[in-house]
Chain A
């Protein structure tokens, strides 16, 4: 994957515009017209156009992927582009960021877009009583200042080199200031598609706006229809009978049936979606780094990829930084199954054998109980007796995760290293599912803060590689596998060679990026 220097993008942002204009030769084949019908999972009767509540594919594809825009957007190749912002600039300490906004953009109701909309939309997340998942991002902004109608300045609590990346988060959509309630009720954004009808948990239909700043680059369909189909088999039937053109998350067990159909192709991308076994590093025996090391060598990762993911994934190396990240240390030494090494570390810990409970449930990830049993079998030859405790799926995240010392879990991963680390590996954050802190590694926590404010990509790569090393050897998480996104598309629809891997369905932006073949 070719990478464009992050500094170039971060500090001038001007490159973003150039990239958008020139970097996409494939789109030359794309033509306007037609209708995209997709059956997507993750829909709910409680869905709405309020991005603060979004958490699953259906609404992300409908809102961020079609009807609304962010200030910035992560391209299919992982680079950052301007969406409603055209360029941005940081002070050397990465604390003050100035964004230049796009001119001549209007919302679907005709209102002109400007700096006020940006400020009002971001403030929604820190409003009294608001429970937005993006609250921590906006809380880190100490001041939002409108400089001109098309320029905004953000002052951050502390330097953050990834700030423009964070603004591409699917919660941080831009709504029309002063009409936010109406925009939430009707779905009024600046996106390529305008809402025609929306029935929560049933379907969403939107039509292409007549003219848009992305014309020529994106938004090739005349109309899109997203149908809520949470059942795997029903989605597959819909695709096979030609009632829809694309489906997300195919059932891996029936993949061969889809492959046999000449009208359909399977799209598979390697991504950051990770299945994990976190241990609480402040609870015995997991507070002993040698016990953690023993457990890392007692798991057969390849077997899990083969049997749980049926080959649709890659082995993990006990760090949450995955193939969709910029500073993924792919050439780091691989932790692999080695009962002798596990025994050695067990001895280092002063133990001859170890008896532990591992809590698992299908709520953690599909096949979690099977994975725990595979772990149990492979650990046995290292003298580790894992007792698999099957927990109820209901209330798993409240009663088991973060509570039981060793359990199964999943993370969908984050676009940037800092975002991932500060969500789950920074001391004291609520989702720190290994209770990883200064007591475990002073160095890790220092690097985390330091790397955040560093604008030089070479130095950042060094720091993030060291952090991944620390987690690989000492960390509290056993991360055996990254699960691919596997989706299927009809041959009536074409897509660019490079498909996004931050989210399913080309980062949920198929309505923008794909076209009628």
Chain B
């Protein structure tokens, strides 16, 4: 079998095992939090009878192991179940009249929004960071290199909400160029959607650029001492060409890894930015669900987050292999 395909299959199998373990850990963790869905949703109005009624309706009175196994049995058949909030709502209505939506239906539009934001951010951040990294390597130790380093390090060191507010101040309040509310809807045109997504995307760009840019710079500089670069230089090739044609292809593996890690972050770590800009992504749904201990939704979100990391890491590894002839043709 082609070694690359073998690696993919192996890694996918390990990925499934990881997902399984993640689901156990999350389930246990949510159960260990004080309070449960019934108490959280009722709040101040939590009378013992009402709490007991909701627990009975949702099966929360069964022991956790049984509940986990039930969930797992459903999940293995592709059924992530109904959120507690929806199931509780259905029991209000009195019967199951088809008004209840499944976890999958609930998450799908939110996930699409998150992917859109991640996509827009990646489209801005990746080329920007790599270009900046290449230029910083080319003009290393110059004023340009220092300014690029200092500014990206400053932005990565600032909390996301602070960057968000600074951008809102300059781009929305003082110069009303972009909207500060990024509430996008299903029936919105692409142009408007893009405009509303721009501020959060710029904020996230500031957050992820430093990591990718510095890795690009370091990986390239690392290679510049290699004999074949020296050879290229001795041939009289221009510095820019040396870096882009000779150094960059060999530095791709670490750069791809860092990019993958940052892309995963864009899918899983944008809760704060979503809250500040009121962006209806998966992060807000996740936080809301943890708050009310809505285990089916929390589980589904965590599985998506874990899967994003697993798949992006796998992609990164495969691309590293493909970019490296030694790994592509092992002896």
Contacts and interface: CB of A to CB of B under 8 A. Distances in A.
B278 A199 contact: no
B179 interface: yes
Contacts of A50: 89, 92-93
A128 B95 CA distance: 10
B71 to A, nearest CB: 19
Interface in B241-273: none
A53 B33 CA distance: 24
Interface string A214-235: 0000000000000111110110
A244 B45 CA distance: 32
B181 A131 contact: no
Interface stretch (B183-191, B210-218, B323-331): B183-191
Contact of B34 (A39, A55, A231, A395): A395
Contacts of A52: 92
A44 interface: yes
B276 A234 contact: yes
A92 interface: no
B43 interface: yes
Contacts of B168: 237, 241
Interface string B136-151: 0000000000000000
Interface string B81-107: 001011011011110010100000010
Given A44-B288, A129-B53, A229-B278, A395 B39 contact: yes
The interface residues of chain A, by DSSP majority, are classed as loop
Given A46-B83, A201-B288, A397-B39, A131 B44 contact: no
Interface residues of A, number: 48
B35 A228 contact: no
B292 A394 contact: no
B173 interface: yes
Nearest to A205: B185
B94 A127 contact: yes
Contacts of A431: 44-45, 47
A133 interface: yes
Given A130-B94, A234-B180, A46 B86 contact: yes
A20 interface: no
Contacts of B91: 129, 131
A148 interface: no
Given A237-B168, A237-B172, A394 B181 contact: no
Q: Which of B42, B168, B176, B181 has most chain A Cβ within 10 Å?
A: B181
Given A128-B94, A231-B276, A394-B35, A241 B99 contact: no
Contacts of B275: 230-231, 234
Interface in B289-303: 289, 292, 294
Contacts of B181: 39, 227, 229, 234, 237-238, 241, 243-244
Interface in B30-66: 33-35, 39-47, 50-51, 53-54, 57
A39 B277 CA distance: 12
Given A203-B185, A234-B275, A234-B278, A397 B44 contact: yes
A240 B39 contact: no
Contacts of A211: none
B92 to A, nearest CB: 6
Nearest to B39: A398
Contacts of B89: 46, 48, 50, 53
A392 interface: yes
The interface residues of chain B, by DSSP majority, are classed as helix
A503 interface: no
B165 interface: yes
A45 interface: yes
Interface string B195-230: 000000000000000000000000000000000000
Q: Which of A52, A238, A397, A398 has most chain B Cβ within 10 Å?
A: A398
A240 B81 CA distance: 42
Contacts of B106: 45
Nearest to B169: A237
A181 interface: yes
Contacts of B35: 394-395, 398-399
A150 B48 CA distance: 40
Nearest to A395: B35
A401 interface: yes
A243 B180 contact: yes
A423 to B, nearest CB: 10
A392 B183 contact: no
B280 interface: yes
A129 B94 contact: yes
A131 B50 contact: yes
Contacts of A234: 180-181, 275-278
B278 A398 contact: no
Q: Which of B83, B85, B294 has most chain A Cβ within 10 Å?
A: B85
B304 interface: no
28 contacts: A39-B181, A45-B85, A45-B106, A46-B86, A46-B89, A46-B294, A129-B57, A130-B92, A185-B97, A185-B99, A197-B187, A201-B284, A228-B183, A231-B278, A233-B165, A234-B180, A234-B275, A237-B172, A238-B180, A238-B278, A241-B180, A243-B179, A243-B180, A395-B34, A397-B42, A398-B39, A431-B44, A431-B45
Nearest 3 pairs between A and B by C-beta? A46-B85, A395-B35, A398-B39
Given A46-B86, A131-B91, A227-B278, 16 more contacts: A46-B292, A131-B53, A185-B99, A202-B280, A227-B181, A229-B278, A234-B278, A237-B181, A238-B181, A240-B173, A241-B172, A241-B180, A395-B39, A398-B35, A398-B39, A431-B45
